[in-house]
Amino acid sequence: MSQNARGSLYMVLGSIGYVVNDSLVRKVSDQGLDVYQVLCMRSAGLAVLMYAVGQLRGESFQTSHLQSSVLKRVAAEMLAGVLFFAAVVRIEFANAQAILLLVPFAVTMAAAVVLKERVSMLRYLTVALGFVGVVIVIRPATDGFSAASLLVVAAAAVLVIRELSTRDVPAEIPAVSIGFVTAVGMTLVTAVLALAAGWGSVTLGQLGLITLAFSSLYFGYYFTIQTVRVGDLSVSAPFRYTTLIGAVILGIVLFDEIPDLLTIVGISIIFITGIYSVYLERTEARST
């Protein structure tokens, strides 16, 4: 298998890991547990797993890793998680995942405005079409609109801050250490929220699903990191949009959510314009 083929496979596996984690958190929440209790237990399990992996790989957490860029990135990821999961238990699963894919489009705009990066008119057009796709999924000013959709939009905006902050994180800080700090922070924040809402009893089956959730999240985390390390990111990047396919399938299988025609149109626009925007970025990079 070539390096690019391996990188593309890793991107698919990483995307599956993330979307499976999200679906399992939603599934356990649907069984009666508060979503923040589920997130607290999942994040605590992930922190233990990250710490163990760090010890095995000689990349354990050090207090020197708590630099301002890392803390800013972690804070953004924590806030985005709180906002996203507040919404994902209230709207259709595939819709939430589709709206979250605002992030790649918004990062392009942020790079042009904040970082003064050059963006072609074609890329502006793909960004505009991507936003149109999201608006079709959200459908404001219609009976199908849910205010919870705006929480996902807010989560996407915060994730843009996370992406921009990542650029400032020193390369010598291990990714597993950043993951550990994020998991610990998420555990503490969601513990407070869960205690305020009321802590419920957990069945063995729910505990198994939560274990599978944080294992899937680590799986996604690991493979998306590996994607950057093998092959060309411009080749593997379009495969992040397999998240949408996985979300639609999991929505149907786990939650009996059949997307209507307008939702399918919106998701299709996001999928096509997302892949085309990566293609444009690749061709423009070759021409410079």
Note whether 73 and 232 are within 8 A (CB): no
Task: Read off the pLDDT of each residue in 31-58 and give the average, rounded to a whole number.
Answer: 95
Which residue's entry shows tokens 């008119």?
A: 121
Residue 169 phi, psi dihedral angles, 5° rounding: -75, 125
Is the pLDDT at 1 greater than 70, yes or no?
no
Rounded to an integer, what distance in angstroms lies between the CA atom of residue 273 and that of residue 183?
Answer: 32
What confidence category does residue 195 fall into, taking pLDDT thresholds of 50, 70 and 90?
very high
What is the H or E stretch that residue 168 is in?
none
Q: What is the pTM of this model?
A: 0.89
pLDDT single digits (tens) 209-244: 999 999 999 998 888 777 766 766 556 777 888 899
Is the pLDDT at 184 greater than 90, yes or no?
yes
Task: Measure Cα distances from 103 to 52, 79, 272 in Å.
Answer: 31, 15, 15
